[in-house]
Copies of this chain bind each other. A is one copy, B any other.
Amino acid sequence: MSWSPSMHRMLLFAFICLLFHHTQCYSWKTAFLKQQVDHFSFANQDTYAQRYLVNSTYWKRGGGPIFFYTGNEGDIEWFAQNTGFMWDIAEEFGAMLIFAEHRYYGQSLPYGNKSYSDAKYLGYLTSEQALADFAELLAYVKSTNSGAAESPVIAFGGSYGGMLAAWMRIKYPHIITGAIAASAPILQFTGLTPCDAFNRVVTADFSSASAECAETIRKSWKALSKILVNDEGKEWIRTHWNLCVPLKGTEDVANLKDWLTNVWTNLAMVNYPYPANFLAPLPAYPVKAVCEHLTNSTLDDHSLLDEIFKGLSVYANFTGQTQCLDVSQQADQSLGDMGWDFQACTEMVMPMCGDGINDMFEAQPWNLEKYAEKCLKKWKVNPRPLMAPLIYGGRNISSSSNIVFSNGLLDPWSTGGVTKSLSDSLIAIIIPEGAHHLDLRAADPNDPPSVIKAREIEKQFISKWISSTKRDRKEIPKSFIVG
């Protein structure tokens, strides 16, 4: 028996587990499958190696289900580590676990280092191609694992991964028996959801911690604009906020504001009831922790920005290990920011806006034309904002079945989620105390009762879907033989 690179990694991983006792210790085999770069045409017949992770510890060979994580925009190991729900229930269901990496993320780069260099290489980064990868992978797994041919497949995914899980069931119902789509904003597209809804929920999270908190953030934008108008102010910010790189032109100022906007948004998304390390290492209820520093919106500009810095340090420097504030980095490096930026410039066009009155951000209209210009300049692509609703159905998905859409009300992405059941088998679950796909995370002693209940309901539906595949057809429907 020889050592493979993946065994080496598993040992390393076990070692890391011992170091950080909050991280769950899961294990898997890593494998790669040869996939078509283009599933739908023959102009480009290149292939690439897609990575996927498998754990068969609890699998009941001969019909036990396959729980399939539809990987989203990041390293698949990171999603495997952050989707404890699948690990928690694998034994009970006798399930095989598969985590499939999304093309163009992690190690699944169709053109290696060149993958992001040009639209001619990057252009195959679309959800349709990713779903076809998943379909091929499942066909391969079923045909090569003795006893898996009849295994029902349940798709799991959170966020964009949740959209993919739902779309897998919608588009490949012959392959996917049912889907748990957690915090999946499949309605966050043009014409389906008001563009200001998202920022209102972010704001509500902060103002429900304290009215002063949201108000302080709302006032910070003008304070920044006033102070950053000259070099003296830029130097002040560099020292007071401990920036790694000093600000220069107006573009740097805009970038700083974008970064801040993302920090507040991320905090609302990962407002979990216990310390976690999803987008960043954070304390329990991080929005509350931030807001403990933002208590007085009537301070002068400099003092107000000092407060803001204390608040955002909860996000940027919870561990106390950060040397300086790097505003070029948004979140955990496991997330493929570049890839998502490209997707957002092609088919994942999700209109966002705000008026600065009903939300705590700077007023910002949604302007598709400008957005498209930026995309063309950056990626040499023209966005197709209506592509995803056209392909997947937008709000008209009632012909589909067997999908649970779970949404946390603390999560701004819930505004683009399916929050009302559409039929007896297209089910909405609302988790009032839930942040972004909290239900997919491992059970935790600090879980609120709502998420525990949500997971129970999800398990009931999974059971129902699995047993429905085993039931025999009762009646043979009538064929018409005429003449």
Q: Scan A13-46; emit 1 where CB is below 8 A from any B CB, else 0.
A: 0000000000000000000000010111111110
Q: Scan A120-133; emit 1 where CB is below 8 A from any B CB, else 0.
A: 11111110110010
Q: Which residues of the other chain, B, contact A421 by a CB distance below 8 angstroms?
A: 476-480
Q: B40–A483 contact, CB under 8 A?
A: no
Instruction: Name which of A211-219, A309-317, A427-435 contacts chain B.
Output: A427-435
CB distance from A257 to the nearest CB of B (A): 29
Q: Which residues of the other chain, B, contact A476 by a CB distance below 8 angstroms?
A: 420-421
Interchain CB contact (< 8 A) of A174 among B39, B396, B433: B396
Chain A interface helix/strand/loop/mixed: loop
Q: A429–B128 contact, CB under 8 A?
A: no
Q: Which residues of the other chain, B, contact A119 by a CB distance below 8 angstroms?
A: 42-43, 45
A324-359 contacts to B, CB under 8 A, are: 346
Q: Scan A347-391; emit 1 where CB is below 8 A from any B CB, else 0.
A: 000000000000000000000000000000000011010110011
A459 to B365 CA separation, bound complex (whole angstroms) = 50
A304 to B139 CA separation, bound complex (whole angstroms) = 51
CB distance from A158 to the nearest CB of B (A): 17
Can you name 14 extra interface pairs (CB under 8 A) apart from A42-B123, A421-B478? A41-B41, A41-B123, A41-B126, A43-B122, A173-B400, A175-B390, A421-B476, A421-B480, A422-B477, A427-B479, A429-B482, A431-B483, A432-B482, A450-B482
> Can you sample 21 A-B contacts with CB below 8 Å?
A36-B384, A38-B40, A40-B40, A40-B41, A40-B129, A42-B122, A42-B123, A42-B346, A43-B44, A45-B381, A139-B390, A173-B399, A174-B394, A174-B399, A420-B476, A421-B478, A427-B480, A431-B482, A432-B481, A432-B482, A454-B482
